[in-house]
Amino acid sequence: MSIFSTKKSWINLTIWALVIALIIAAPSVLPVFRLNLLGRYLSLAIVALGVDLIWGFTGMLSLGQGIFFALGGYCAAMFLQLNSAGEFPNGIPEFFGLYGVEKLPFFWEPFKSSIFTLISIWLLPAIIAGFLGYLVFRNRIKGVYFSILTQAALLVFFNFFNGQQKLINGTNGLKTDVTQLFGQMVGSEIMQRWFFWISAVLVILAWFFARWIVRDRFGNILIGIRDDEARVRFTGYNPVVFKTIIFSIAGGFAGISGALYTVQSGIVSPQFMTVPFSIEMVVWVAVGGRGTLLGAILGAVFINYAKSLVSEALPASWMFIQGGLFILVVTALPEGVLGWIRKDGLRKLLFLIGINKKLETYPSLEVDEQGEVKS
Amino acid sequence: MQLFLESLFNGVAIGSVLLVAALGLAIVFGLMGVINLAHGELMMLGAYSTYITQLIFKQVSFLKPFYDSYVIVAIGIAFLVSGTVGILLERTVIRRLYGSPLETLLATWGVSLILQQFVRSVPLAYASGLVIALFFGLFSPLFISDDLLHGAKGKLIRAFTWGFSALLGVATGGILSSLVSKLSRASARNVDVTAPSWMRGGIDFVGITFPKTRLLIILITLISVLVVIFFLDKTAWGIRIRAVTQNRPMSDCLGISTETVDIITFGIGSGLAGVAGVAVSLLGSVGPNVGGNYIVGCFMVVVLGGVGNLLGTILASFSIGIMTDLIGAGRLLTIWPDMPSPLYSTIDFFATTSMARVMIFALIVIFLQFRPTGMFPQKGRMVES
């Protein structure tokens, strides 16, 4: 069947064309400040995709994605700092001088290379996620225990990064906006525009990658683990392998996301590893729709946009709104907004407020405008 | 010897704060499989209750002579305040989510956000008015006979009790805000609880000074643990709670009202969080985020101790407390000053409070490699599911 043969493909094609046109046009339409915000939120969509893979599809609620997010950010920030540290004493970033460090700590040495950095941004978080995940999954620790352990791990990393001034500038974090890349300031307008485009493209690539992962048998096993892990094990699959793989993929996603977010927000600091931020990531997915990859992206972008709009207008009320959103989504909309729409929620709502006619067939079949049942 | 005693005391002191905070969490987790992320905020409410009680004792003339005993009154008040909020939480949110612990986790996090912002943006006088309204609204039906409640005019009576409670709450808020000016404005700033004079200073014993606040906290913990053990072991409801913890459907079949058991357990668990809040308020300043500092320690206790076992909770709290002191205060270095240099520098690296947490977490993960379900795992067929 050709791509253009059905009506649905045409709709798809139009949507894609629209999305691409919007991405290309956004920098000339939006003011610089808003463009930067949108770029950041798009990069957050990547970490949300990872959360959707491990929570929506595999049923593991990780409250520690901030670890991998921040690790990616630190990799990118250190590369930028190292490559624009020429004018500082000893040729190392300025902050080292404040703590009397004269020689670059050995583990930062390879980050002078751009290729190593580009690889380590996703590989390093993925390896750490895989290692931590393996230790936990091997013992069949799951459910709430897994969530608590990831949260504890997050706090441990936070404490570690917060306390190590001499290695990573501790609580101040690493700044990127005044560093140089390709002879340009990273914080400059033109660089930010490029970062926006890179984020948008990477979101789309990550979405395709995630879809490719969950489409085939691998995805089926993930869903099987979510719904009944014991049966998957009895059928002869080893859940540990699949869980470790998907957890490290999500870690890699988080790393990429963190790096993009860092270069666009101008700083990486242990604040990326605070507990609320990691839980927020889960909420974007919960609101958008668990197990619907698109929902994760839309959730991340829209909730963050709403957050910035509400915080600008009424700073105190965002916590109430966010808390209420948590409770509302979990109790009333467990499928998330997108899942709810896909399950015919919109028509049910219209029916409730009396606009739409209730279908008379059961189970409800599709009815066209004349009220005739389609085959 | 002296060093050993000092280290032991510090460890026990840290551990007892953890224990009283984790006790409620562990009971609720054992019974319902629910992790309450708002537990830290219930502690925060307890700490604020202490602050409010202290202010009332200071300002109201006829209570002033009894100022020194406000801490003891505060324990009771904190228990009731946190317990009431906990029961409300159970009735409105958590009971809709039984069977889905991960969703409960998220919903309770939402509750904790709301509670944090609530103490920031609502004047404390009116906040206490609201709690009083909730308290009477929730509990007054217990004192009205069932015939009346379920009779023809039951709804009217219920509406009347709620209206009466609301009036009472508004009145309390008004009176408090006019009596104590500090409570009449909302403030996001941290507040301080000052210990009464008899609690300041310390007791000298074999050359070591034991701070009295720490001793009091250990005492509070000891009493809480004893009361909980007595309640669970000797009273009818305690036995029902243990039955439901072991096997919920079977207890239901035997005629135990699991719904009531859930309410009671959640109320007690939350109330214990309030008591922990009193202890916390004696140690440092009280702010909207005070619970967050302790909550992860409590989770570690629950994970390490195993589910539904008080002995595990107790042992886990004290071992984490003692380890924190040993590693964080660098006592290992004092005990064994001439250890080999790589080991010395490693231990020295971890000898701060925050780095000690890193070390302890690593140790717990290693421990879980050998005992995945904690020190005292639950036995039986139901464990897997």
Is residue A196 within 8 A of residue A35, CB to CB? The reply is: yes
Minimal Cβ distance to B105: which of A61, A160, A230: A61
Q: B184-237, pLDDT tens digit by residue?
A: 677 777 777 777 777 777 777 777 777 888 888 888 899 999 998 898 888 988
Minimal Cβ distance to A324: which of B112, B114, B120: B114
Q: Is A155 on the interface with B (CB under 8 A)?
A: yes
Q: Is A223 on the interface with B (CB under 8 A)?
A: no
Name the β-bridge partners of A62.
none
Strands (E), chain B: 202-205, 208-211
Which residues, 6+ apart, have CB-to-CB distance to B118 below 8 Å?
B127
% of chain B residues with pLDDT over 90: 7
Minimal Cβ distance to A151: which of B299, B355, B357: B299
Which chain B residue has the Cα nearest residue A141?
B372
Q: Is B64 on the interface with A (CB under 8 A)?
A: no
Check residue B15 and give its pLDDT: 87
Which chain A residue has the Cα nearest residue B29?
A144
CA distances from B236 to A308, B170, B230 (A): 53, 37, 11
pLDDT at A344 over 80: no
Average pLDDT of every residue of chain B: 81
Rounded to whole angstroms, how far apart are CA atoms B319 and B325? 10
Rounded to whole angstroms, how far apart are CA atoms B83 and B87? 6
Which chain A residue has the Cα nearest residue B35?
A144
Minimal Cβ distance to A139: which of B35, B97, B369: B369
Q: B85-103, pLDDT tens digit by residue?
A: 999 988 888 888 877 788 8
Query: Which of A273, A327, A331, A333 should we substitute to test contact with B (largest number of B Cβ atoms within 10 Å)?
Result: A327
Dump the DSSP string for B219-243.
HHHHHHHHHHHHHHHHSHHHHHHHH
Predicted confidence band of residue A369 (pLDDT cuts 50, 70, 90): low
CA distance B145 to chain A (A): 33
Predicted confidence band of residue A2 (pLDDT cuts 50, 70, 90): very low
Backbone φ and ψ of A181, nearest 5°: -145, 130
Q: A285-304, pLDDT tens digit by residue?
A: 888 888 888 888 988 888 88
Q: A63-120, pLDDT tens digit by residue?
A: 889 999 999 998 888 888 887 766 676 667 777 777 777 777 777 778 777 888 888 8
Check residue B79 and give its pLDDT: 92
Rounded to whole angstroms, how far apart are CA atoms B301 and B26? 8
Q: Is A282 on the interface with B (CB under 8 A)?
A: yes
pLDDT at B384 over 70: no
Q: Is A163 on the interface with B (CB under 8 A)?
A: yes
Check residue A289 and give its pLDDT: 84
User: Looking up tokens 């001439």, which residue turns up?
Assistant: B338
Q: Is B110 on the interface with A (CB under 8 A)?
A: yes
CA distance A283 to chain B (A): 8
Instruction: Return the sign of the alpha-carbon dihedral for residues B335, B336, B337, B341.
Output: negative
Predicted confidence band of residue A351 (pLDDT cuts 50, 70, 90): low
CA distance A330 to chain B (A): 6
Radius of gyration over every alpha carbon of chain B, rounded to an integer in angstroms: 22
CA distance A285 to chain B (A): 12
B261: left (phi over 0), alpha (psi -120 to 50) or beta: alpha
Range among B154-158, B234-238, B373-377 rated most confident = B234-238
CA distances from A42 to A48, A73, A206, A342 (A): 10, 15, 11, 23
Rounded to whole angstroms, how far apart are CA atoms B78 and B61? 22
ipTM over 0.85: no
Check residue B385 and give its pLDDT: 45
Check residue B271 and give its pLDDT: 92
CA distance A317 to chain B (A): 8
Rounded to whole angstroms, how far apart are CA atoms B134 and B88? 8
Q: Which residues of A touch B97 (CB under 8 A)?
A: 330-331
Please answer yes or no on whether A325 and B110 come within 8 Å at the CB atom.
yes
Q: Which residues of B touch A145 (CB under 8 A)?
A: 303
Pick from A170, A174, A168: which is nearest to A262 by CA?
Answer: A174
Q: Which residues of A touch B296 (CB under 8 A)?
A: 151-152, 155, 275
Which chain B residue has the Cα nearest residue A324?
B110
Which chain B residue has the Cα nearest residue A274?
B292
Q: Is A326 on the interface with B (CB under 8 A)?
A: yes
Q: Is B381 on the interface with A (CB under 8 A)?
A: no
* Model confidence, pTM: 0.84
Pick from A81, A87, A90, A84: which is nearest to A183 by CA?
Answer: A84
Pick from A280, A277, A263: which is nearest to A74 by CA?
Answer: A263
Predicted confidence band of residue A229 (pLDDT cuts 50, 70, 90): confident
Q: Which residues of B touch A324 (CB under 8 A)?
A: 110, 114
Minimal Cβ distance to A152: which of B33, B120, B296: B296
What's the rounded mean pLDDT across residues B122-141? 79
What's the rounded mean pLDDT across residues B232-251? 86
**Which own/partner contact pairs does B138-145 have at CB distance under 8 Å and 24+ positions apart?**
B138/B84, B138/B87, B138/B88, B138/B91, B139/B84, B140/B164, B140/B165
Q: Which residues of A touch B112 (CB under 8 A)?
A: 323
Q: Count of CB contacts below 8 A, A vs B?
A: 117
What's the rounded mean pLDDT across residues B170-179? 77
Check residue A364 and give its pLDDT: 52
Which chain B residue has the Cα nearest residue A134?
B369
Check residue B274 and give its pLDDT: 92
* B residues 277-336 lying closer than 8 A (beta carbon) to A: 292, 296, 299-300, 302-303
